[in-house]
């Protein structure tokens, strides 16, 4: 870390929020992030409440009219803005497929927008131009950040959450469609806000989810600064709405994303070491769980058999040593002639978060093969970011997602 590293600037903000007294139950107003919502699910969410957040965050109307919609909702009292800066304490209680029960703790605040080169905010995935262009159009139209970025910060002692001093009954309780229970507390006490700000001062932040949203906010900041002839770095558009969770939080979970392949050349698996398994998903998952952490491992599902694939963890960087990076380099590229991004673009590779779905897709004849992979530990994600590297496409799935609609950040006063 360089001597001039200043760390993240985390601040409370004058949040724009739904008023349940006017808009109705928060349960009917929130939604998952826009980028995981399909057309049918969007319609279902919109049917729950005429003010549901998808109406502005995933609009079916032209972007240019979304600002008028937000203004209309505000004039009706559906949306209201806090008079003073706040932060939001947020817990998410959920069950995992293995039966374990977890609670993740998050603080929603705004964070100074910094280019990646400053190493204050760090990515771990590549982004694509198209989605950023779309979100920038929406942000320019509304001058509001509608969806939070999910960020992680180092805090082994849990100082930031302790500083928030969360107690009492929550302001809202929401159970989402995955069964996760969200509890929200609005922090207004200046002393507590200052304590959280001080506890987070000097830390770096890893983007877990929302790279496109962060880079869009950074581009918007640069546009506004150019329009304003420079700025002092303390304007609303100089900050990005984030939900912040400690990398050391017991509830921080990264689930695996499995690969389903339309083609599989005979013998392609011979690029790696192969161990035949009993032909069941349980046997495959048990073998994968028992594979040494020091080796690369994946389960291969074929139409007539299941195999454990292993290899040495080769590479000079943290990113190159990841399971998915070695599988891409030593298996998919030799066998299918392209990396995962290329194969996905060609329609030869799709993703699923459900190992049973991957298994059934192959066994029903709808795919030629599937790679059932292990989750990536958070320390490996942090190591990649520390080196300034990026991970293969769809490497991480942080569960559960942060909801959209809990709070918005106006980017102009």
- Reported as a single tens digit per residue, the pLDDT across 82-137 is 999 999 999 999 998 778 999 999 999 999 999 999 999 998 877 777 788 999 99
pLDDT at 231: 66
Higher pLDDT, 165 or 2: 165
CA distance 91 to 141: 32
User: What are the backbone dihedrals phi and psi of residue 120, each rounded to the nearest 5 degrees, phi first?
Assistant: -80, -50
- Under the banding of pLDDT at 50, 70 and 90, the label for residue 393 is confident
Helix (H, G, I), strand (E, B) or coil at 42: helix
Percent of the chain with pLDDT over 70: 98
What is the rounded average pLDDT of the residues 200-226? 94
pLDDT at 26: 97
Maximum average pLDDT range among 125-139, 241-255, 373-387: 241-255
pLDDT at 384: 87
Asked, for residue 382, whether it belongs to a domain, the answer is no
Higher pLDDT, 134 or 388: 134
- Under the banding of pLDDT at 50, 70 and 90, the label for residue 387 is confident
What is the rounded average pLDDT of the residues 53-65? 95
Q: Which two tokens stand for residue 371?
A: 């790679």
What is the rounded average pLDDT of the residues 198-221? 94
What is the total count of domains within the chain? Answer: 2
pLDDT at 273: 95
What is the rounded average pLDDT of the residues 202-224? 94
Q: Which of 105-109, 202-206, 230-234 has the lowest mean pLDDT?
A: 230-234
Q: Do 339 and 367 have their domain in common?
A: yes
Q: Do 246 and 270 have their domain in common?
A: no
Residue 232 structural domain: 10-253+399-410
Q: Do 65 and 41 have their domain in common?
A: yes
Is the pLDDT at 224 greater than 70? The verdict is yes
Q: Which domain CATH number covers 330? A: 3.30.1760
Q: Compute CA distances 340 → 261, 272, 345, 359, whole Å.
A: 10, 18, 8, 19
Strand 295-302: give its sheet, edge to edge: 273-276, 305-312, 295-302, 369-373, 258-261, 349-352
Q: Do 239 and 277 have their domain in common?
A: no
Asked, for residue 92, whether it belongs to a domain, the answer is yes
Q: Do 88 and 40 have their domain in common?
A: yes
Asked, for residue 387, whether it belongs to a domain, the answer is no
- Under the banding of pLDDT at 50, 70 and 90, the label for residue 290 is very high
227, 220, 38: which is closest to 132 by C-alpha? 220
Are the beta carbons of 268 and 337 closer than 8 angstroms?
no
Which residue's structure tokens are 């982004």?
127
CA distance 354 to 166: 35
Are the beta carbons of 85 and 230 closer than 8 angstroms?
no
What is the rounded average pLDDT of the residues 365-383? 92
Q: Which residues contact 186 (CB under 8 A, 6 or more apart)?
A: 82, 86, 87, 88, 171
Q: Which residues contact 332 (CB under 8 A, 6 or more apart)?
A: 338, 339, 340, 343, 349
CA distance 331 to 115: 35
Q: Compute CA distances 404 → 34, 54, 262, 280, whole Å.
A: 8, 8, 34, 38
Q: Compute CA distances 302 → 15, 204, 357, whole Å.
A: 51, 43, 13
What is the rounded average pLDDT of the residues 369-380? 92
Q: Do 189 and 206 have their domain in common?
A: yes
Are the beta carbons of 330 and 324 closer than 8 angstroms?
no
- Under the banding of pLDDT at 50, 70 and 90, the label for residue 6 is confident
- Under the banding of pLDDT at 50, 70 and 90, the label for residue 5 is low
Asked, for residue 334, whether it belongs to a domain, the answer is yes
pLDDT at 129: 75
Q: Do 329 and 294 have their domain in common?
A: yes
CA distance 164 to 125: 30
**By CB neighbour count within 10 A (0-12 exposed, 13-18 middle, 19+ buried), where does 245 fall?**
buried
Is the pLDDT at 4 greater than 70? The verdict is no
Q: Angle, to 10 degrees, between the axis of helix 355-363 and the axis of helix 281-290?
A: 130
Asked, for residue 381, whether it belongs to a domain, the answer is no
What is the rounded average pLDDT of the residues 171-196? 97
Is the pLDDT at 68 greater than 60? The verdict is yes
Q: Do 38 and 57 have their domain in common?
A: yes
Q: Compute CA distances 175 → 43, 183, 206, 397, whole Å.
A: 19, 9, 27, 20
Average pLDDT value for the chain: 93
What is the rounded average pLDDT of the residues 284-303? 95
What is the rounded average pLDDT of the residues 66-71? 96
Asked, for residue 389, whether it belongs to a domain, the answer is no
Side-chain-facing half-sphere of 6: CA atoms under 13 Å: 7
Tell me if the pTM is above 0.95. Answer: no
Q: Do 123 and 187 have their domain in common?
A: yes
What is the rounded average pLDDT of the residues 354-368? 97
Side-chain-facing half-sphere of 326: CA atoms under 13 Å: 22
Which residue's structure tokens are 């995933």?
58
Asked, for residue 25, whether it belongs to a domain, the answer is yes
Q: Do 178 and 150 have their domain in common?
A: yes
Q: Do 227 and 99 have their domain in common?
A: yes
Q: Do 23 and 155 have their domain in common?
A: yes
CA distance 56 to 147: 10
Asked, for residue 385, whether it belongs to a domain, the answer is no
- Under the banding of pLDDT at 50, 70 and 90, the label for residue 3 is low
- Under the banding of pLDDT at 50, 70 and 90, the label for residue 386 is confident
pLDDT at 189: 97
């Amino acid at each position: 870390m360089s001597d001039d590293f200043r760390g993240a600037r985390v601040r409370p903000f004058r949040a724009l929020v739904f008023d349940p007294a006017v808009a109705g139950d928060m349960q009917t107003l929130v939604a998952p992030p826009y980028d995981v919502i399909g057309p049918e699910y969007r319609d279902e969410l919109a049917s729950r409440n005429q003010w549901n957040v998808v109406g502005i965050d995933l609009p079916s109307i032209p972007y240019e009219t979304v600002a008028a919609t937000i203004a209309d909702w505000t004039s009706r009292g559906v949306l209201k803005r806090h008079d003073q800066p706040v932060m939001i304490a947020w817990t998410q209680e959920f069950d995992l497929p293995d039966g374990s029960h977890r609670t993740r703790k998050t603080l929603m605040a705004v964070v100074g927008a910094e280019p990646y080169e400053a190493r204050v905010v760090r990515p771990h995935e590549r982004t694509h131009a198209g989605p950023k262009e779309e979100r920038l159009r929406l942000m320019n139209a509304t001058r509001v950040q509608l969806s939070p970025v999910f960020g992680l910060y180092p805090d082994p002692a849990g100082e930031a959450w302790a500083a928030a001093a969360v107690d009492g009954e929550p302001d809202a309780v929401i159970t989402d469609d995955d069964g996760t229970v969200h509890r929200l507390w609005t922090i207004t006490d200046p002393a507590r806000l200052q304590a959280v700000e001080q506890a987070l001062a000097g830390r770096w932040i890893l983007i877990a989810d929302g790279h496109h949203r962060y880079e869009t906010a950074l581009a918007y900041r640069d546009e506004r600064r150019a329009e304003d002839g420079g700025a002092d770095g303390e304007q609303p558009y100089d900050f990005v709405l984030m939900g912040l969770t400690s990398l050391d939080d017991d509830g921080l979970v990264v689930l695996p994303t499995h690969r389903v392949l339309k083609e599989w050349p005979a013998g392609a698996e011979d690029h790696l070491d192969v161990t035949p398994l009993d032909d069941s998903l349980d046997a495959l998952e048990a073998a994968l769980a028992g594979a040494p952490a020091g080796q690369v491992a994946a389960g291969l599902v074929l139409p007539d058999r299941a195999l454990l694939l292993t290899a040495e963890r080769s590479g000079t960087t943290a990113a190159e040593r990841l399971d998915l990076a070695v599988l891409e380099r030593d298996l998919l590229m030799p066998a299918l002639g392209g990396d995962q991004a290329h194969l996905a673009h060609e329609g030869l590779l799709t993703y699923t978060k459900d190992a049973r779905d991957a298994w059934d897709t192959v066994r029903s004849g709808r795919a030629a093969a599937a790679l059932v992979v292990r989750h990536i530990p958070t320390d490996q994600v942090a190591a990649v970011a520390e080196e300034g590297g990026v991970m293969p496409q769809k490497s991480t799935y942080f569960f559960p997602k942060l909801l959209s609609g809990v709070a918005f950040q106006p980017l102009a006063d």
